[in-house]
Chain A
Amino acid sequence: MARNGKEKAPSSGAASPAHLRRHEWVAVLGAAARSRRGAIGALLALSVVAVAVIGPFVAPHSSTEFVTSAFTGPSGRSLLGSDGLGRDVLSRVLFGGWLLLLMAAVATALGAIIGTALGITAAYFRGTFDGLIMRAVDIFLAFPQIVFALLLLSVAGPKLWLVVIAVGISHVPQVARVIRSASLDICEKDYVKAVELLRIKPRKIIVGDILPNLVTPLMVEVGLRFTWSIVIIAGLSFIGFGLQPPAPNWGLMLNENRIGLVSNPWAVVVPAVLVAVLTVGTNTFTDAIARVSIGVERPVGDEVFLGVATLETEK
């Protein structure tokens, strides 16, 4: 952000590591990953991500190839059996994840960027602008996110990019509210007042002086929103918005294969479990970020991480 590449290396002998401040998000991620909760979360989430990313390269069949008859159980030819059209479930599972993840990531980024921008500006300027934005947010918050996304899609039709935008926009009110409350405190800090006294432009103050102080709450919020994105996008696919058949997709597979649940349960269970493990994993990891950043949880074997602060700010 406000880093201008020409800083000197931190002088040696300083008590707390300077890189911890420079790339705070890296430090927080690292610390979260080293805590027990975070390690479990990361393990769960990353294993699903691995399935989604490596899957297409190792799938035994194409996702649309007819391999056996409909809804046969697992066999040597198709390890997880087949779906209603006789396509290999394993291959469809392996192919069906990456797009879901990508869509979730883009939607999250979209929601986080717009939401953060609105949240900080509202907190910084207060007054009428704040009131307008926040009342609008209140109205949108009254709808459940998936209903809100459905509303947008039913108006504009089920297109992939529209799903991404709809889900992204449905995140905006939540992010805006959280970031606004986090920034309210920062905006009142003396160091912000000090910059205002120089008559520096508000945009510069927001980006250069306030935003860097929001890294941790923003990370937690992004993690949470990512989890939601997966749930909503998978849910939308389930009810027929999003990827259209015959393309493979975990949410869609649930819907396609639930009629054959008795003959080949794997065709439903496997994608469902993958989505569940992924969301539990990202959510657990996000939780670890939040806990590490407030010092409730520490990296394993690390006695004082951010806890140093509590020791040294005795005053």
Chain B
Amino acid sequence: MTDGAARLVVDGLRIIVAGSSVDVVDEVTLTVDAGEVLGLVGESGSGKTTVSLALLGYTRRGLVVDAGSVRFEDSDVLTMSADELRQLRGRTIAYVPQDPASALNPALKVGFQLREALTMHGGGDSNRLEVSERMAQVLAEVGLEASKEIRGAYPHQLSGGQQQRIALAMAFACRPRLIVLDEPTTGLDAATQRHVLDTVRGLCRSYGVAAVHVTHDLAVVAEIADRVTVMYAGRLIETGPTKAVFETPAHPYTAGLLRAIPSPERREVLVGMEGQPPRPGHRPRGCSFEPRCDFAVAQCAAARPPVVEIEGPARTARCFRAEEVVRRSLGVGAPVSDVMVSQDGAAADAVLVVAGLVGRYGEKEILHGVDLAVPRGSCVAVVGESGSGKTTLARCLVGLHGNWSGTVAFDSQSVRPLARNRSLKVLQAVQYVFQSPYTALNPRKTIGQLVEQPLAHFYKLAARERTARVVAALEAAALNEDFLGRYPDQLSGGERQRVAIARALVVEPELLVCDEVTSALDVSVQAAIVELLRRLQNERGLSLLFITHNLALVRSIAQEVVVLHEGSVVERGPTDTVLSHPVDEYTIRLLEDVPKLTSLTDSCHVSAVTPV
């Protein structure tokens, strides 16, 4: 299978905005061998998707390849004709998109689409029977039954995980020799993610397929990749074997990413990285990371650091101080014992009490009698996978969803189901932060107007006093008055979420309901937002209901955790107890499925036993 030579060689790839000299990615050089999985890691805007598409000879509208080559088994993908590319794609290079729901044709049955992939690229005049056999085979490979239900289903009738596995099956159907996976597990819950990752890894191993796995999630990379390369602001800043990079990162950015990742195993301070990567066309003359780097010296701002080798040619980094960074082990220096989540005060009265909440959509019961209490000044995390009803719960509590029964009492006063029937006092005291900061801010309003709106509604204040409070709220959310006149689309995702938090804070609420507030954000930003919430809780005595699918995050913020499974609470208790000694079967499985950085060290040192 393995022929020894590198399958894919990218050399000096430079992609620019057409008609300008603004580079989106530059100096991208990498190789992938047969049977090897390369993890391409980067936060949003780093250019990782641009690179991954270039591997298939594709550039998005408005972008052109300016220099460099993408050589796949001795042919240059970038100089191929449209016909040659069509031959290449699907058959020899396959692509698995981020969002399977939009990649599968919603009007065709998945069996038909799979059959099409097999007959188009499958080679030769395959007859129906043969194709059916192959189809059963590829479906089995991704852990799906080739049953009528699956083959005859339209994409929307399948779950997200099943859709993604269909997409995987289509990609692997023609035995490609290179497969490009663009964040294939984003948006899947832990168990499905685990299964998809195992599938990819297994298929790559057994068929000698070279794979490039693009992701922003370092923990996923730790699980799947043999080698990893980290992208920042359009350049590869560190490349090396996964284990080495994660144990002793050589670039401060990699180290920062590692520090930002929450761990379900121990309570630690998440260190976010302030600022955001420079956009194309606004990159500094020196190192792109220099403005955010704690480790920068004068040299970093003056000149672009060269690529240096670390302990041999297998590891490279683009940093003047790489050797020093390796020696200091910056990435694993996260303080573990500094308990920042206060444990006291839990005996206080409850600000929110939920009893026997039954939530429905139409006739269908989603929540089956949920009981919950949020003690004043503490943070309760509600954890569950997609479909567990956690978002429905949040929407019932804040009054967005009115079809529920049971009691929800705020400050011992029970509240009506819908927000429009609740008193202004309750609406002001319970604030909701939406999941996606990209949709929660009106794009036609300035930040100032957005934050001011609830304030002006709840309090009659003079204009000057109002502005002062708006600025104070922005500052509490680690923004400043420069933002007042800006519009949401001028802000990064993290900044937008801070604005959403500031909008909640400005009316001085007692309880903040945070619905998956970090799931749309990069890890470094996620860490910063979690830190912000924790600080607010400590400083202001704010009570938090923190809803998340990410068990790892829970340790970093919550005093208590409630595990929700299919609309029922299956386990609850103090965070440490639940996470260290889970009792319920479901919780145990959930914990096992979380991708962990440490599983890497497990599998490398002890050479086995990752839980499946």
Q: What residues make up the interface of A, taking CB atoms closer than 8 Å to B?
A: 2, 4, 6-11, 14-16, 18, 21, 24, 189-200, 209, 212-213, 215, 303-304, 307, 309-315
9 residue pairs, one from A and one from B, having the closest CB atoms: A212-B444, A191-B442, A190-B440, A315-B44, A190-B439, A8-B485, A10-B485, A21-B487, A11-B482
Residue B18 is within 8 A (CB to CB) of chain A in the complex: yes
Residue B279 is within 8 A (CB to CB) of chain A in the complex: yes
Known contacts A7-B446, A198-B453; A311/B486 CB under 8 A: no
Query: What's the Cα separation between A40 and B398 when bound, in Å?
Result: 53
Q: Which of B61, B424, B489, B503 has the most CB of A within 10 A?
A: B489
Residue-wise interface mask of B (1-35) relative to A, using a CB-CB cutoff of 8 A (1 in contact, 0 not): 00000000000000001111000100000000000
Residue B420 is within 8 A (CB to CB) of chain A in the complex: yes
Q: Which of B422, B485, B493, B520 has the most CB of A within 10 A?
A: B485
Instruction: Report chain A residues within 8 Å CB of B19.
Output: 303
Structural contact, A213 and B443, CB atoms closer than 8 A: yes
Residue ID in chain A nearest B444 by CB atoms: A212
Structural contact, B17 and A311, CB atoms closer than 8 A: yes
Least Cβ distance of A303 to chain B in Å?
Answer: 5
Instruction: Report chain A residues within 8 Å CB of B37.
Output: none
Pick from A2, A199, A311: contact of B420, CB under 8 Å: A199
Structural contact, B444 and A21, CB atoms closer than 8 A: yes
Residue ID in chain A nearest B395 by CB atoms: A193
Instruction: Report chain B residues within 8 Å CB of A313.
Output: 438
Query: What's the Cα separation between A14 and B422 when bound, in Å?
Result: 40
Of the A-B pairs whose beta carbons lie under 8 Å apart in the complex, a sample of 21, sorted by A's number, is A2-B449, A7-B449, A7-B485, A15-B282, A18-B485, A21-B444, A191-B439, A194-B440, A194-B503, A195-B453, A196-B420, A197-B399, A197-B400, A198-B427, A198-B457, A199-B422, A307-B62, A311-B62, A315-B44, A315-B438, A315-B493
Query: What's the Cα separation between A192 and B45 when bound, in Å?
Result: 28
Least Cβ distance of A80 to chain B in Å?
Answer: 48
Structural contact, A7 and B484, CB atoms closer than 8 A: yes
Structural contact, B279 and A310, CB atoms closer than 8 A: no
Residue B546 is within 8 A (CB to CB) of chain A in the complex: no
Query: What's the Cα separation between A312 and B435 when bound, in Å?
Result: 20
Least Cβ distance of B503 to chain A in Å?
Answer: 8
Residue-wise interface mask of B (361-377) relative to A, using a CB-CB cutoff of 8 A (1 in contact, 0 not): 00000000000000000
Structural contact, A191 and B485, CB atoms closer than 8 A: no
Structural contact, B463 and A2, CB atoms closer than 8 A: no
Instruction: Report chain B residues within 8 Å CB of A212.
Output: 442, 444-445
Considering the complex, which residues of chain B in the window 136-185 have a beta carbon less than 8 Å from any beta carbon of chain A? none
Structural contact, A2 and B445, CB atoms closer than 8 A: yes
Structural contact, B457 and A200, CB atoms closer than 8 A: yes
Pick from A10, A189, A304: contact of B17, CB under 8 Å: A304
Structural contact, A190 and B487, CB atoms closer than 8 A: no
Instruction: Report chain B residues within 8 Å CB of A193.
Output: 400, 434
Query: What's the Cα separation between A14 and B62 when bound, in Å?
Result: 22
Instruction: Report chain A residues within 8 Å CB of B399.
Output: 197
Residue B441 is within 8 A (CB to CB) of chain A in the complex: yes
Pick from A11, A189, A315: contact of B439, CB under 8 Å: A189
Instruction: Report chain A residues within 8 Å CB of B453.
Output: 195, 198, 200
Least Cβ distance of B197 to chain A in Å?
Answer: 21
Pick from B18, B44, B432: contact of A303, CB under 8 Å: B18
Pick from A18, A197, A304: contact of B398, CB under 8 Å: A197
Residue B458 is within 8 A (CB to CB) of chain A in the complex: yes
Instruction: Report chain A residues within 8 Å CB of B570.
Output: none
Structural contact, A16 and B490, CB atoms closer than 8 A: yes
Considering the complex, which residues of chain B in the window 497-547 have a beta carbon less than 8 Å from any beta carbon of chain A? 503, 520
Residue B595 is within 8 A (CB to CB) of chain A in the complex: no
Instruction: Report chain A residues within 8 Å CB of B20.
Output: 303
Query: What's the Cα separation between A116 and B440 when bound, in Å?
Result: 24
Instruction: Report chain A residues within 8 Å CB of B441.
Output: 191
Residue B113 is within 8 A (CB to CB) of chain A in the complex: no
Structural contact, B486 and A314, CB atoms closer than 8 A: no
Residue B192 is within 8 A (CB to CB) of chain A in the complex: no
Pick from A190, A198, A307, A314: contact of B44, CB under 8 Å: A314
Query: What's the Cα separation between A194 and B419 when bound, in Å?
Result: 11
Instruction: Report chain A residues within 8 Å CB of B422.
Output: 199
Q: Which of B424, B458, B490 has the most CB of A within 10 A?
A: B490
Residue B49 is within 8 A (CB to CB) of chain A in the complex: yes
Least Cβ distance of B521 to chain A in Å?
Answer: 9
Structural contact, B434 and A194, CB atoms closer than 8 A: yes
Query: What's the Cα separation between A303 and B280 when bound, in Å?
Result: 14
Query: What's the Cα separation between A8 and B453 when bound, in Å?
Result: 16
Query: What's the Cα separation between A313 and B280 when bound, in Å?
Result: 13
Residue B241 is within 8 A (CB to CB) of chain A in the complex: no
Q: Which of B24, B444, B490, B493 has the most CB of A within 10 A?
A: B444
Least Cβ distance of B463 to chain A in Å?
Answer: 7
Known: A197-B400, A315-B520. 18 other contacts (CB 8 A): A2-B444, A7-B449, A9-B485, A10-B485, A11-B486, A15-B282, A16-B490, A21-B444, A190-B436, A197-B399, A197-B427, A199-B427, A303-B19, A310-B60, A310-B62, A312-B279, A314-B45, A315-B438
Instruction: Report chain A residues within 8 Å CB of B443.
Output: 21, 191, 213
Instruction: Report chain B residues within 8 Å CB of A309.
Output: 489
Query: What's the Cα separation between A310 and B59 when bound, in Å?
Result: 13
Structural contact, B17 and A21, CB atoms closer than 8 A: no
Structural contact, B448 and A213, CB atoms closer than 8 A: no
Instruction: Report chain A residues within 8 Å CB of B432.
Output: 194, 197
Residue-wise interface mask of B (446-475) relative to A, using a CB-CB cutoff of 8 A (1 in contact, 0 not): 101100011001100001000000000000
Structural contact, B442 and A14, CB atoms closer than 8 A: no
Least Cβ distance of B263 to chain A in Å?
Answer: 25
Residue ID in chain B nearest A196 by CB atoms: B419
Least Cβ distance of A297 to chain B in Å?
Answer: 13
Residue ID in chain A nearest B432 by CB atoms: A197
